[in-house]
Structure 1
Amino acid sequence: MRYAVAACSMFWLLCAAPPARAAQQTLGDYTDEKQWPDTPAAQRARELLEVINARDASRAARFVNDRFSVRMRESAPMEQHISILSGLADVTGGLEFYGARRYDPPRPPGEIVVIVREKLTERWRGILLAVEDEPPHRIIGLSLAPARAPKDAPVPPPLDEPGLVAEARAFVERLGAADVFSGAVLLARNGRVLMTHACGEAVKGHNVPVRLDTRFNLGSMNKMFTAVAVAQLAERGRLSLDDPVSKYLDADWLPREAAEKIRVRDLLGHTSGLGSYFNEPFMASARQRFRELADYKPLVAGEALQFEPGSSWSYSNTGFLLAGVVIERAAGQGYDDYIRENIYKPAGMVHSDCYDMDRPVPNVAVGYSRAPERFGTTWECNLFKHVIRGGPAGGGFSTVEDLLRFDQALRGGKLVSAATLAQLWTPTPQSQGGYGLGFGIEQAPGEKIVGHGGGFPGISAALDMYLEGGWTVVVLSNYDQVAATVTEKLRELIARVR
């Protein structure tokens, strides 16, 4: 699943994969002019496209220094600006200008929406750019997001299942051939596997190929397992979703006043008001310090609430870490042991677990991020960036086949009841329809899609479960960002099946 990321930095605006749905619904009718307007915003957008397509780090640095406002320039380290601007063409094949989009009602002066098409993926994208009112009209806002197709674009024909599989396979193979995708993909319907594909290298330098049973880091997808585990314990009478977390947490985890306000369901629904333990102390610490849940106490203790619990929504890794502590207290056993016995084992997930990454683990993919250099692009591995051992909030490993087994175990009632699933898969009011309890939720025409994504440098993962049509899409990659590219394409193709 994909979630909007609100941040001022160029890095997050361009890297995030926000759903265009909400923005599109409020933008109104539109027309596309296929010539560049004679405006300062259009001039900056044209220069931006030239810089992106040049794939030149030094040119990107000059553009940031000369064309960004001070606030934009200082919103992220220069290397992040350069990485995005000079690397975007590598993952898209370059951006082709289509036109300047005008809306009814019009956008404010000083803004422009430019419609482009990615050469490699053929996806439509909108570049929203805003400039200062006064010369030299530096850039003060910039984002890249999915866009509605131009009105004169050909309407794709309907597909049958074989046609869907053929187009899906060709798309993933094209990404793999361009070294934009490394990983595994699985497409199934009603539990019947229609397509699998594996490509790329699990470990660069040793030329270890990706296989269908390669274990990939899931990022935040572990949150689904944590939510289901909590729901199981609620069904068994070991806890209530409406219990205050003070019932399960010692005072050295959270101040008592905060713990008494937060309910267990707030941890699962991102309504606790807590933030993320991926904070400055974590980033400055040796990863070996954090293996067991209790090891994270110094990163969490004393954390201030961002809002009154239950009153708003904010994505929280700390919340899910504490949900793991709740599981340990309620179940009377370690988090990993409980998940193995009550999630993985009944689901038949034989290649899934949280591993100590400083010890030998067979058939595990190492994550990689593109790192632009003066004379091209190299790769950085994420072994020294991510957690040394996964846990309730993320960082475990699995395979595409195991995640299909998880999907089928959920739908088949092996893990929790249908009534409990309905709770997990019902969006909370605070999330504005986008998140339930441990699961992301998206509505498409005639379809409800639930699941979760995961992302970090060198980690890109997604599970989409189509509740009406019975489709299952699993994408696991050891490259950044690309899982959303594949799941988005598969959504387009599935929507064409008649």
Structure 2
Amino acid sequence: MRIKRGSLVAGAVAALLAVGAGSAQADLGAPSTLAEVDTAKAAQYLHSSLNGKAMGYAFAIAEDGLLAQKGSDGTARVDKGTSFTPNSRIEIASATKNVVAAALLKVTEAAGLTPDALIWPYLPPDMRSTATAGWQSVKIKDILGHTSGLGQFIGSQPKSEQDKMNARYDGIKYAMSVAPVGTGQAYDYENENYAVARVVLTRLWYLTETDPSVGVPQWIQPGGAPWSLAYINRYLFKPAGIAAVDCLSADPQNDALGHMTRTSQTGNLLEMSGVAYEACASYRGLRMSAIDLVRWQVYLRHGTIVSQQVRLWMDTVETGAKGLGWTYVANGTRAHGGDYNNTLGRVVTCHGKFTDNVEASLVVNSGIDGGANPCSLLAAAIQYASS
């Protein structure tokens, strides 16, 4: 269905561009004057699929780089009775990986490398000193595409061993000392791949940063600051007009909570605090809203925060894999979902680009009754709106 854009969409565009600061409008090309998808139908589909089936949810839909729909319903936190909104920020779980992949590929290009580059030269010397030999053949595309063999190995280990292979420095180093890995292994999704990604990102940033006042360390440090987060905010989010993002709650007394079910009477911030903060912006942790996420996807697809080459690297699907930074790949769709709980609260999320030049995001601060996958819901909504 083709419909003319009207004043409603123009107003929505203004609202999207008003979020955050920076040269947001400069990055967007001239939009089409026609819409291929009836985005109001997509919004209706999401409401009907989620209303009464989650504690709270929010979505945003853009087309041709312009915000066309946003919606929400339910509760952000039971203890205060506040409503969940399209601007409610909360932990987005593994949907963080899409941003981290774009960041690592951006700095990879800046270093004159490609995703086929070996990560070995960009690992700290003490990690290399104890790593198994297979790490010498692992490539950037292996850690971003989950084809390093880490998934198969870690998944076969008892929980006591898995706990040692956490996303902090010592956990990464331990994993490297025991995991038999190598390039081009069968796809097997594993968080630890993206823990390694933040190590490589930091080193490449150090080698390419031209402003010494930024203070990037020569090598990532045990217990140190999450430099992947600093890079993302400086070189991706700020140019896209997205207000600074963190893995810690900006307002813990009022920010949205994750709830285990739609009837939970308590919730949890789900933030990466304490020692866990070291792993912020690797495999999970970014706290963003539905509006933030759709804005990110608009700029990732249409803007200049990454090059066309980086977009091509991300989207190329090799045999048995799913591209770099994506987990939901079908019928022209590239998206990444997230599902995280710490037994006190849960969040399920998805953001990506869909058919007919549509970008969309969905954030749910509980499980969804019936166990619906958030990326499948978004894809189904866009498909429904295209019929």
- Do Structure 1 and Structure 2 share a fold, with TM-score over 0.5? yes
Letter of the 2:175 counterpart: V
Structure 1 Cα separation of the partners of residues 174 and 267 of structure 2? 25
What is the aligned partner in structure 2 of residue 454 from structure 1? 338
What is the aligned partner in structure 2 of residue 113 from structure 1? none
1:100-127, Cα deviation, whole Å (9 max, x unpaired): xxxxxxxxxxxxxxxxxxxxxxxxxxxx
What is the aligned partner in structure 2 of residue 35 from structure 1? none
Contact 1:219/1:396, CA 8 A, preserved across alignment: yes
What is the aligned partner in structure 1 of residue 144 from structure 2? 268
Residues 1:229 and 1:284: Cα distance change in structure 2 (over 3 Å)? closer
What is the aligned partner in structure 1 of residue 159 from structure 2? 280
TM-score, normalised relative to structure 1? 0.57
Contact 2:56/2:366, CA 8 A, preserved across alignment: yes
Contact 2:328/2:375, CA 8 A, preserved across alignment: no
Contact 2:131/2:177, CA 8 A, preserved across alignment: yes
Letter of the 1:367 counterpart: G
- Please point out which of 100, 109, 123 is paired with 1:226: 100
Q: Counterparts in 2 of 1:13-32, with a 5 A limit? A: none
What is the aligned partner in structure 1 of residue 13 from structure 2? none
Offset at residue 419 of structure 1 (A): 2.4
For structure 1, the 5+ residue unaligned runs are: 1-158, 372-376
1:302 paired to 2:190: no
Aligned residue for 2:177, secondary structure, equals: coil
Structure 2 Cα separation of the partners of residues 270 and 473 of structure 1? 24
Residues 1:252 and 1:425: Cα distance change in structure 2 (over 3 Å)? same
Contact 2:58/2:71, CA 8 A, preserved across alignment: yes
Structure 2 Cα separation of the partners of residues 370 and 210 of structure 1? 15
Offset at residue 211 of structure 1 (A): 1.9
Offset at residue 281 of structure 1 (A): 4.8
What is the aligned partner in structure 1 of residue 327 from structure 2? 440
Report the count of equivalent residues: 316
Structure 1 Cα separation of the partners of residues 190 and 163 of structure 2? 20
Structure 1 Cα separation of the partners of residues 304 and 92 of structure 2? 22
Offset at residue 345 of structure 1 (A): 0.8
Contact 2:256/2:269, CA 8 A, preserved across alignment: no
- Please point out which of 308, 315, 318 is paired with 1:428: 318
Q: Which has the higher contact order (CA 8 A, sep 6+)?
A: 2
The structure that is strand-richer by fraction is 1
1:464 paired to 2:352: yes
Offset at residue 383 of structure 1 (A): 5.0
Letter of the 1:443 counterpart: A
RMSD of equivalent CA atoms? 3.2
Letter of the 2:348 counterpart: S
TM-score, normalised relative to structure 2? 0.71
Structure 2 Cα separation of the partners of residues 195 and 241 of structure 1? 35
Structure 2 Cα separation of the partners of residues 203 and 282 of structure 1? 35
What is the aligned partner in structure 2 of residue 355 from structure 1? 247
Structure 2 Cα separation of the partners of residues 472 and 452 of structure 1? 12
Structure 2 Cα separation of the partners of residues 474 and 417 of structure 1? 22
Contact 2:36/2:356, CA 8 A, preserved across alignment: no
Offset at residue 338 of structure 1 (A): 0.9
Q: Counterparts in 2 of 1:198-217, with a 5 A limit? A: 198-217=72-91
1:381-440, Cα deviation, whole Å (9 max, x unpaired): 455797754321112111122222212222234122212211210112132xxx111123
Contact 2:65/2:302, CA 8 A, preserved across alignment: no
Residues 1:321 and 1:259: Cα distance change in structure 2 (over 3 Å)? same
Structure 2 Cα separation of the partners of residues 243 and 485 of structure 1? 33
Structure 1 Cα separation of the partners of residues 268 and 158 of structure 2? 17
- Please point out which of 415, 424, 438 is paired with 2:305: 415
1:487 paired to 2:363: no
Taking only the aligned residue pairs, the percentage that are identical comes to 20
- Please point out which of 88, 111, 114 is paired with 1:237: 111
Residues 1:319 and 1:470: Cα distance change in structure 2 (over 3 Å)? same
Structure 1 Cα separation of the partners of residues 298 and 258 of structure 2? 27
Offset at residue 353 of structure 1 (A): 2.0
1:211-244, Cα deviation, whole Å (9 max, x unpaired): 2211022111111111111211122126543332
Offset at residue 479 of structure 1 (A): 1.4
What is the aligned partner in structure 1 of residue 228 from structure 2? 335
Structure 2 Cα separation of the partners of residues 382 and 442 of structure 1? 31
Residues 1:259 and 1:415: Cα distance change in structure 2 (over 3 Å)? same
Letter of the 1:437 counterpart: L
